Amino acid sequence: MTRRNQPAGPGLADLTPDQRLRRLELTVTRRLDGMLHGQYRGLLPGPGSEPSGSREYRPGEDEVRRMDWAVTARTAVPHVREVDADRELTTWLLVDASPSMEYGTAELDKRELAVAAVAAVGFLTAGAGNRLGAQVLGPAGLRRFPALSGRTHLLGVLRTLLAAPRHGGHDAGAAPRRGGHAAPAAPPDLSDALAALARVANRRGLVVVVSDFLDGLPDDPRHPPVWERALRRLAVRHQVLAVEITDPRELELPDVGLITLTDPETGRRREVWTGDRRLRERYAAAASAQRDQVRQALRRAGAGHLPLRTDSDWGADIVRHVHAQRRLAATRAGTPPVGVA
């Protein structure tokens, strides 16, 4: 399918890499930074991780996993640990650059929207002492960027993502992720990449996973995805934000007659007659069930969930997510949200 509804002016995908970087930086620093004002910026506000004491447990408000068992044992009264927000943040990014992320029917494709999400995370978490590291998952394997600070480092990561070669929907040298026979040198999947990230992210911080999360989804929704356990292990130590990238044509089929669908991961093709109303309804129901399967898995893993669509205003979606998280954090703490009108 080709992209539709292109704007009158040049879109992000029509610009050169350096022009795209400037556009992304202006969007984040002028639009998002201006709307997300407050004492401390962040995509996933939370209580922090630096111990600062203990207080009595409040039923219905405090999480059991924050119980301070040592103080509870000494006083015979349930206590929870109190923590201060970290002033120096280490952010780790895991970016899915597999062939399925090259699909798109709107102004941006999924890969370009993933780059926009990375830019938002990078520019919003930039600050004195803050560091950012990244791992990019592609058919050739994992490409790693150490956790460093500074705008130059962030721009280098973004340039690498923008300049990454396209695979034309299927890389003959890559093994299919589901079905078929694996090649001898199969590339790592999302579960492997999450496990590798856990080994290098040894300091508490923020972990952001940008993917469509289609890798390893079982056909039976009662079974968890293969990446859920690895994501849960990361969430035990870090604040984890899952940025889910989707395209509208992954959710519903238009009535455009006969089309050829291609699996970007395996290269398999199938002709489909979209004039069949029942077929379109079954497709939409199956797609909805699949996205619900992803949402439930992310919730069970303890990760925050930020869905972004290629046909939506990603800046506004991020703003809504941050405001919702701040309201939730303020409600739990019993204090008014900072920077939210």
Structure confidence by residue, pLDDT tens digits, 311-322: 998 888 888 888
Higher model confidence: residue 64 or residue 209?
209
Q: Is residue 114 in some structural domain?
A: yes
pLDDT band at 296 (very low <50, low <70, confident <90, very high): very high
Q: Is residue 208 in some structural domain?
A: yes
Q: Is residue 55 in some structural domain?
A: no
State mean pLDDT over 28-33. 69
| 8 A C-beta contact, residue 38 and residue 323 | no
Beta strand 131-138 with 141-148: parallel, antiparallel or unpaired? Answer: antiparallel
Q: Is residue 15 in some structural domain?
A: no
State mean pLDDT over 237-266. 88
pLDDT, position 248: 92
Q: Is the pLDDT of residue 341 over 80?
A: no
pLDDT, position 96: 93
Q: Is the pLDDT of residue 6 over 80?
A: no
Query: Domain count of the chain?
Result: 1
Q: Is residue 29 in some structural domain?
A: no
Give residue for tokens 């939210």.
340
pLDDT, position 4: 44
Q: Is the pLDDT of residue 178 over 50?
A: no
Q: Is 102 exposed, middle or buried (0-12, 13-18, 19+ CB in 10 A)?
A: middle
Q: Is the pLDDT of residue 28 over 70?
A: yes
State mean pLDDT over 156-185. 57
**What one-character DSSP code corresponds to residue 255?**
-
Q: Can you state the angle between helices 228-237 and 277-301, rounded to 10 degrees?
A: 40
Q: Is residue 128 in some structural domain?
A: yes
Q: Is residue 166 in some structural domain?
A: yes
| CATH code, domain with 141 | 3.40.50.410
At 195-216, the pLDDT tens digits run 999 999 988 889 999 999 988 8
pLDDT band at 104 (very low <50, low <70, confident <90, very high): confident
Q: Is residue 336 in some structural domain?
A: no
Q: In sequence order, what are the residues at sequence separation of 6 or more whose Cβ sits closer than 8 angstroms to the Cβ of residue 263?
A: 170, 269
pLDDT, position 35: 53
pLDDT, position 81: 80
pLDDT, position 204: 86
State mean pLDDT over 95-114. 88
Number of Cβ within 10 Å of residue 143's Cβ equals 16
Q: What is the mean pLDDT of the chain?
A: 79
Q: Is the pLDDT of residue 232 over 90?
A: yes
Q: Is the pLDDT of residue 185 over 60?
A: no
pLDDT, position 333: 59
**pTM of the predicted model as reported, rounded to 2 decimal places:** 0.74
Tell me which residue range forms the domain holding 99. Answer: 87-311
At 259-281, the pLDDT tens digits run 888 877 777 898 989 899 999 99
State mean pLDDT over 293-310. 94
pLDDT band at 110 (very low <50, low <70, confident <90, very high): very high
